[in-house]
């Protein structure tokens, strides 16, 4: 079984404000239908911002596959092996998702330089409202303030990274 990649003394945030407009909450199986609907309706934007995967996610995904995926994410969160959160706005709308993974899960070749694989996506509506950079910058501040990672060892997987955040 994969070991925790956070210290035993660290308590991962549960529901957490990232700014006045947005908060995050751990994803779990109770979100299966909402998650699948959000992913399906925003697949093109997700791929544009974060990329897709070899198994066809986010364009080829059934309810059952999503339930299994969320059960895995929920268990891994509980075991402190990786962390996934829904991003919600103040009206409680699901506007995106965050992934905080140990680097070796998908990028073993980057272990020398990084400890954490961080990525996220937002919905097309939020992206069209030009919320991407704002949310990205607040998520980075949240990572620095609320997590025990060396921020210089965080790999930002997103395909689109604001220029001011690249340095």
Count of domains for the chain: 1
User: Is residue 26 in some structural domain?
Assistant: yes
CATH number of the domain at 40, please: 3.40.630.30
Residue 147 lies in a domain: yes
Give residue 154's domain range: 18-166
Per-residue pLDDT of the chain (167 residues; tens, 9 = 90+): 456 789 989 999 999 998 899 999 999 999 999 999 999 999 999 888 887 766 667 777 899 999 999 999 999 999 999 999 999 999 999 999 999 999 999 899 999 999 999 999 999 999 999 999 999 999 999 999 999 999 899 999 887 776 555 44
Distance CA 96, CA 125 (A): 10
Would residue 11 count as lying in a domain? no
Alpha carbons 95 and 125: distance in angstroms, whole number: 8
Residue 23 in any domain: the answer is yes
3-state secondary structure of 70: helix
Asked whether residue 4 is assigned to any structural domain, the reply reads: no
Whether 5 is covered by a domain: the verdict is no
């Amino acid at each position: 079984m994969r070991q925790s990649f956070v210290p035993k003394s660290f308590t991962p945030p549960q529901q957490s404000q990232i700014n006045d407009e947005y908060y995050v909450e751990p994803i779990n199986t109770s979100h299966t239908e909402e998650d699948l609907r959000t992913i399906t309706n925003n697949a093109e934007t997700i791929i544009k911002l974060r990329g897709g995967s070899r198994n066809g996610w986010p364009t080829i995904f059934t309810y059952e596959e999503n339930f299994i995926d969320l059960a895995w994410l929920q268990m891994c969160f509980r075991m402190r092996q990786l962390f996934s959160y829904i991003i919600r706005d103040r009206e409680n709308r699901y506007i995106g998702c965050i992934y905080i993974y140990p680097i070796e899960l998908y990028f073993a070749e980057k272990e020398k330089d990084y400890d954490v694989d961080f990525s996220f996506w937002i919905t097309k509506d939020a992206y069209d409202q030009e919320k991407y950079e704002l949310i990205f910058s607040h998520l980075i501040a949240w990572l620095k303030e609320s997590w025990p990672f060396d921020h210089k060892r965080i790999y930002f997987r997103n395909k689109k990274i604001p220029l001011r955040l690249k340095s």
